[in-house]
């Protein structure tokens, strides 16, 4: 049996994380450095507690999740007890990528990262659209 061609191998957790870091690196200057303070975590699926807390029945419905306090709600007097985290879920991302069939995995991961960062920064839809031209 021969090895499958590289383009037929599903992207790994490490590759999805690499794409996520690349998406952060391409953010506009005012957001790039602050976005690096948000931890990126890539897992196969969200855990049951996350799904239950969000009221999500199907793990494939959740490609990413921002877990933290948005900057618009943080106080300088608050002590940070844990870092803000963006969770990316590999299998749901791959499922959406395969279903769409018309976007690159890099574009899809970038879109999910920007969407989750929008929660962190408190961006409006117009601000998101200026950074993520997803529909083009």
| pLDDT tens track for 49-108 | 999 999 999 999 999 999 988 888 776 666 667 789 999 999 999 999 999 988 899 999
- Judge whether 21 and 117 are in contact, CB under 8 Å: no
User: Is residue 25, in this structure, part of any structural domain at all?
Assistant: yes
pTM, to two decimals: 0.85
Please report whether residue 38 resides in a domain. Answer: yes
Total Cβ atoms within 10 A of residue 4: 9
Contact 66, 119 (CB under 8 A): yes
Total domains in the fold of the chain: 1
Whether 39 maps to a domain, the answer reads yes
Assigned domain for 115 exists: yes
Q: pLDDT-derived band of residue 132, with 50, 70 and 90 as boundaries?
A: confident
Cα(37)–Cα(32) distance, integer angstroms: 9
Domain boundaries, position 33: 12-70+82-131
| Backbone φ and ψ of 73, nearest 5° | -115, -5
Residue 96 resides in a domain: yes
Classify residue 5: in a domain, yes or no: no
The CA distance from 24 to 112, in Å, is: 11
92 within some domain: yes
Mean pLDDT value across residues 29-44 = 94
**136 found inside a domain:** no
CATH number, domain of 21, equals 3.30.2010.20
């Amino acid at each position: 049996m021969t090895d499958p061609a590289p383009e037929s191998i599903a992207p790994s957790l490490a590759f999805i994380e690499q794409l996520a870091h690349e998406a952060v690196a391409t953010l506009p200057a005012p957001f790039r450095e602050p976005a690096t303070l948000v931890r990126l975590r890539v897992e196969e699926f969200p855990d049951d507690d996350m799904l239950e807390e969000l009221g999500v029945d199907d793990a494939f419905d959740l490609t990413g999740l921002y877990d933290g306090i948005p900057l618009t709600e943080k106080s300088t007097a608050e002590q940070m007890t844990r870092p803000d985290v963006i969770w990316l879920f590999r299998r749901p991302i791959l499922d959406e990528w395969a279903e769409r069939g018309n976007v690159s995995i890099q574009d899809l991961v970038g879109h999910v990262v920007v969407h989750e960062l929008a929660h962190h920064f408190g961006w409006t839809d117009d601000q998101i659209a200026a950074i993520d031209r997803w529909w083009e």
